Chains A and B, each alone.
Chain A
Amino acid sequence: MVDVTHGEPVPGVPGSAAHEGGELDLYHPKSWVTKYVFSQDAKVIAIQYGLTAMAIGLVALVLSWLMRLQLAFPGLLPFLDADHYYQFITMHGMIMVVYLLTALFLGGFGNYLIPLMLGARDMMFPYLNMLSYWVYLVAVLLLVSGFFVPGGPTGAGWTLYPPQAILANTPGQQWGIIVMLVSLMLFIIGFTMGGLNYVVTVLQGRTRGMTLMRMPLTIWGIFTATVMALLAFPALFVGSVMMLFDRGLGTSFFMPAIVVTGEQAPYAGGSPILFQHLFWFFGHPEVYIVALPAFGIVSDLISTHARKNIFGYRMMVWAIVIIGALSFVVWAHHMYVSGMNPGFGFFFATTTLIIAVPTALKVYNWVLTLWRGDIHFTVPMLFALGFIVTFINGGLTGLFLGNVVVDVPLSDTMFVVAHFHMVMGVAPILVIFGGLYHWYPKITGRMLNPTLGKIHFWITFLGAYAIFFPMHYLGLLGVPRRYYEMGETAFVPHSVVTLNIFMTVAALVVGATQMLFLFNLAWSLRHGRAAGGNPWRATTLEWQTPETPPAHGNWGAELPVVYRWAYDYSVPGAAEDFVPQNVPGRDPDMPGHPVAEGAR
């Protein structure tokens, strides 16, 4: 292993420092196409991921409008029949969870921030990284093509439960389900290509002085989430292959003997519960695949904008790791109503509630970071605060649903919809917005307009509560989820109708406000205030690049050297109220340094 030419740093070879982190000539794209289209630069790939994810997210947003209109004003849209409603539910859920949130956090923020925050030149395998995006794009296009195939997209619900997912009479049974499964498999293949990059870059590609315990929490969140994704997506992949065979080849992995509209379906002997296990072995870690990057990003936003070191950094790191590990042994709490041995129910309820401990710890630490901080109500900070509130809210209802006896009556009601939209819909999206407002100056060199940003925040935040808060109440009343329309029922009071209208109006307003955000993104690209290299006076490495936006290769001839953790804000006696990670001296690891040991 002496002939190192892959671009790795060469240990012990004199004069290799100038080339550490790769051969520099590879970091100069040769043409417009390799610079902007088939780019191997992680930052360009990140922007491609981000824009694609937002574009497909807009589709899902419009679908949610259509569903809300149907719920508030049944029959208002004549084309929207029951089949369409289920197709829209399915596509909305799948797009938001997989193609927007996962892709944007890991493919978008991960690609942009991992090399920059760790002081690397790029991802370790840039070519694979580029392929990752293009496979993702094909997966997205295939998903969208579901709208145009005969029979339309699948209407099986985003969980795609068999048997109904592939039985006749389910909308999209002809082609939609096939397109969906193939698209998911492609997404997983593409994600694996990117995920290997993220993991190996964090493990093996850090710069000098960047120990694991000096990494910003953003990186910890993204790293742990990526490891989880690499272990959880296989279950979905296998489930998709098997269901594809059930649908295409007539196997009976998931299909029991079943009679559909008076006819015996050509299946026998399969186990529908098996799919649920496979799906949720992916599906529950998926919740944290989305949540952990959000946890990490929000920690950095709060610390930076409250000018205070994060409280209990080590605890925060271990909490992330423990949450990641625990999330692999809780999956069956999604299946309480599928019927299970009470012993298993007890086990999964217990593990589920145990997760509340590290999660609560994180919330306390965020609050304690804010405690007596110099809080700047910048737009990223507003979103971060909004996240904490929303996440506590969603977490509390999670305690309800984690208990078997409480979950069983609530499981098929709007309460569940309200819960997961709060905890893994609204909360992570708020962090995504916060992150975009925070890092947009680094990506483009210009600030987003703060006034538009504040309008965007308040309408989105309050609007989200206007939509989902009353939904808890609907659930407690017993309003079922997944219903196309309620009709006249005895147990639902008239106030439900009024509330539904209120929620729909709120949803329309919140959705429309996102156009304001998109306008801000486009307008500020040219007209935003010039940001300079480090507008938030932040400590992490991405703000210390020689150029803004960073050039391909990120750093000049020399990689930065890290001397301290990422949270040296308001250090007593320092010249400024922040000390970047690459500034030497006063290392908190040094014995005798004034910073107390507990602060590390």
Chain B
Amino acid sequence: MTDHPAHLAPVTAPRDRAAGAGWRRFLADWASDRNAFKGVSWGKAMMWVFLLSDTFIFGCFLVAYMTVRMSTTVPWPNTSEAFALSIGGTEVPLILIAIMTFVLISSSGTMALAVHYGYLRDRRKAGTLMLVTALFGACFVGMQAFEWTKLIREGVRPWGNPWGAPQFGSTFFMITGFHGTHVTIGVIFLIILARKVLRGDFDSGRRGFFTSRKGRYETIEIMGLYWHFVDLVWVFIFAFFYLW
């Protein structure tokens, strides 16, 4: 990594031969010049740091939800009844949420394929798969809107609901809303990025409208990191809201 003349290069090796050398060598490698994460681009590093920060946001939301649910004095509504859907006269618990989860997990699959074809420089396939991912995402948000409408029709409000603790509606709308916003932002960026990919911006070196910097196919992977993260968060929300 270093361009030092050989006799001036930072030397860390000799004294590291003792016990625990692996650990020390790992640290020395990590702390060496220029990059802490070798071969990781700036954009990807930034996305990981951002996701770490975002993890804390969702973590705080979920911890707050658990605290509120445990400290409220009124019983929590029965979630398998609250989230049931009446199909052909029978109440099917959790059916909508199962479909939503299936759709979102599927979108992770198409996203992964898009990243794959991006690296193969197959821009038609990569772009199309990103649009499919965006479509799945939009489907998810649409079904979420449907679920919200249904619950609101049944009298659930942020400040109260007919079945029990008012915090049920508060946390539900706040956390699924915050997650839905993440999905929506993801859909918008997927569409923008798919357009760039299909137009061949990353081959022609066309510069970004705002940043005047050239994009490249790795951007698809960075987008993918965000998308998979949003999926992963959904798994936790699903578990804590619908299964608890």
Chain A residues bordering chain B, tally (CB within 8 A): 68
Report Cα–Cα, A576/B10, bound state, in Å: 23
* B64 and A590 within 8 A (CB): no
Q: Given A200-B45, A238-B57, A242-B174, are A249 and B158 neighbors across the interface (CB < 8 Å)?
A: yes
Report Cα–Cα, A587/B165, bound state, in Å: 67
Q: Which residues of A contact B17 (CB under 8 A)?
A: none
Which of chain A's residues 210-259 have a Cβ closer than 8 Å to chain B?
Answer: 210-214, 230-231, 233-235, 237-239, 241-242, 245, 249-253
Report Cα–Cα, A1/B216, bound state, in Å: 9
User: Does chain B have a CB within 8 A of A274?
Assistant: yes
Indicate which residue in B34, B43, B166, B169 contacts A206 across the interface (CB closer than 8 Å): B34
Report Cα–Cα, A268/B165, bound state, in Å: 9
User: Does chain B have a CB within 8 A of A591?
Assistant: yes
The interface bits of chain A over 251-290 (1 if a CB of B lies within 8 angstroms of the residue's CB, else 0) are 1110000000000001011110010011001000000000
Indicate which residue in A6, A207, A231 contacts B42 across the interface (CB closer than 8 Å): A6
User: Does chain A have a CB within 8 A of B159?
Assistant: yes
* B170 and A245 within 8 A (CB): yes
* A203 and B213 within 8 A (CB): no
Q: Which residues of A contact B205 (CB under 8 A)?
A: 5
| A231 smallest CB distance to B (angstroms) | 5
Q: Which residues of A contact B57 (CB under 8 A)?
A: 234, 237-238
Report Cα–Cα, A200/B46, bound state, in Å: 6
User: Does chain A have a CB within 8 A of B14?
Assistant: yes
Q: Which residues of B contact A205 (CB under 8 A)?
A: 34, 42
Instruction: Give the interface segment out of A7-15, A160-168, A404-412, A539-547.
Output: A7-15
The interface bits of chain B over 204-236 (1 if a CB of A lies within 8 angstroms of the residue's CB, else 0) are 010000111110111000000000000000000
* A6 and B167 within 8 A (CB): no
Report Cα–Cα, A250/B167, bound state, in Å: 11
Q: Given A196-B49, A235-B60, are A589 and B41 neighbors across the interface (CB < 8 Å)?
A: no
| B43 smallest CB distance to A (angstroms) | 7
Q: Given A211-B32, A251-B158, A278-B60, are A589 and B167 neighbors across the interface (CB < 8 Å)?
A: no
Q: Given A192-B50, A234-B57, are A209 and B41 neighbors across the interface (CB < 8 Å)?
A: no
Q: Given A208-B33, A269-B72, are A250 and B41 neighbors across the interface (CB < 8 Å)?
A: no
Report Cα–Cα, A211/B37, bound state, in Å: 12
User: Does chain A have a CB within 8 A of B78?
Assistant: no
Q: Which residues of B contact A241 (CB under 8 A)?
A: 174, 178
User: Does chain A have a CB within 8 A of B152?
Assistant: no
User: Does chain A have a CB within 8 A of B242?
Assistant: no
Which of chain B's residues 150-190 have a Cβ closer than 8 Å to chain A?
Answer: 158-159, 165-167, 169-171, 174, 178
| A118 smallest CB distance to B (angstroms) | 10
* B213 and A7 within 8 A (CB): yes
Closest to A242 in B: B64
User: Does chain B have a CB within 8 A of A127?
Assistant: yes
Report Cα–Cα, A127/B42, bound state, in Å: 14
User: Does chain B have a CB within 8 A of A342?
Assistant: no
* A230 and B53 within 8 A (CB): yes
* B159 and A249 within 8 A (CB): yes
Indicate which residue in B1, B43, B167 contacts A253 across the interface (CB closer than 8 Å): B167
| A554 smallest CB distance to B (angstroms) | 16
Q: Which residues of B contact A230 (CB under 8 A)?
A: 49, 52-53, 56
Q: Which residues of B contact A238 (CB under 8 A)?
A: 57, 60-61, 64
Indicate which residue in B11, B31, B42, B169 contacts A125 across the interface (CB closer than 8 Å): B42
Report Cα–Cα, A101/B218, bound state, in Å: 37
- How many residue pairs, one in A and one in B, have C-beta atoms under 8 Å apart? 184
* A8 and B167 within 8 A (CB): no
User: Does chain A have a CB within 8 A of B90?
Assistant: no
Report Cα–Cα, A208/B35, bound state, in Å: 9
Closest to B1 in A: A11
| B243 smallest CB distance to A (angstroms) | 22
User: Does chain B have a CB within 8 A of A562?
Assistant: yes
Closest to A233 in B: B53
| A173 smallest CB distance to B (angstroms) | 18
Q: Which residues of B contact A208 (CB under 8 A)?
A: 2-4, 33-34
Closest to A227 in B: B49
* B216 and A268 within 8 A (CB): no
Q: Which residues of A contact B218 (CB under 8 A)?
A: 1
Q: Given A5-B214, A204-B36, are A253 and B50 neighbors across the interface (CB < 8 Å)?
A: no
Q: Given A124-B46, A192-B53, A253-B68, are A26 and B212 neighbors across the interface (CB < 8 Å)?
A: yes
Q: Given A6-B216, A7-B213, are A253 and B64 neighbors across the interface (CB < 8 Å)?
A: yes
* A274 and B67 within 8 A (CB): yes
Q: Which residues of B contact A488 (CB under 8 A)?
A: none
Q: Which residues of B contact A561 (CB under 8 A)?
A: 3-4
Report Cα–Cα, A251/B37, bound state, in Å: 44
User: Does chain B have a CB within 8 A of A75?
Assistant: no
Report Cα–Cα, A421/B226, bound state, in Å: 41
Report Cα–Cα, A250/B216, bound state, in Å: 47
Report Cα–Cα, A506/B1, bound state, in Å: 57
Report Cα–Cα, A6/B219, bound state, in Å: 10
| A148 smallest CB distance to B (angstroms) | 29
Closest to B160 in A: A250
User: Does chain A have a CB within 8 A of B86?
Assistant: no
User: Does chain B have a CB within 8 A of A199?
Assistant: yes
Closest to B221 in A: A1
Report Cα–Cα, A205/B36, bound state, in Å: 9
The interface bits of chain A over 179-217 (1 if a CB of B lies within 8 angstroms of the residue's CB, else 0) are 000000000000010011101100111111111111000
Report Cα–Cα, A249/B31, bound state, in Å: 49
* B74 and A269 within 8 A (CB): yes
* B42 and A270 within 8 A (CB): no
Report Cα–Cα, A243/B46, bound state, in Å: 30
Q: Given A203-B35, A208-B34, A238-B64, are A269 and B42 neighbors across the interface (CB < 8 Å)?
A: no
Which of chain B's residues 10-55 have a Cβ closer than 8 Å to chain A?
Answer: 10-12, 14, 30-37, 39-43, 45-46, 49-50, 52-54
Report Cα–Cα, A434/B52, bound state, in Å: 34
Closest to A274 in B: B67
Report Cα–Cα, A587/B19, bound state, in Å: 26
Q: List 10 A-B contacts (CB under 8 A).
A: A6-B43, A196-B53, A207-B33, A251-B174, A252-B159, A266-B159, A269-B71, A269-B73, A269-B74, A270-B167
Please list the residues of chain B having a beta carbon within 8 angstroms of any beta carbon in chain A.
1-5, 7-8, 10-12, 14, 30-37, 39-43, 45-46, 49-50, 52-54, 56-57, 59-61, 64, 67-68, 71-74, 158-159, 165-167, 169-171, 174, 178, 202, 205, 210-214, 216-218
Please list the residues of chain A having a beta carbon within 8 angstroms of any beta carbon in chain B.
1, 3-9, 11, 17, 23, 26, 124-127, 192, 195-197, 199-200, 203-214, 230-231, 233-235, 237-239, 241-242, 245, 249-253, 266, 268-271, 274, 277-278, 281, 561-563, 584-585, 587, 589-591
Instruction: Please give me the 5 A-B residue pairs with the lowest Cβ-Cβ distance, nearest first.
Output: A212-B31, A234-B56, A251-B170, A238-B60, A250-B159
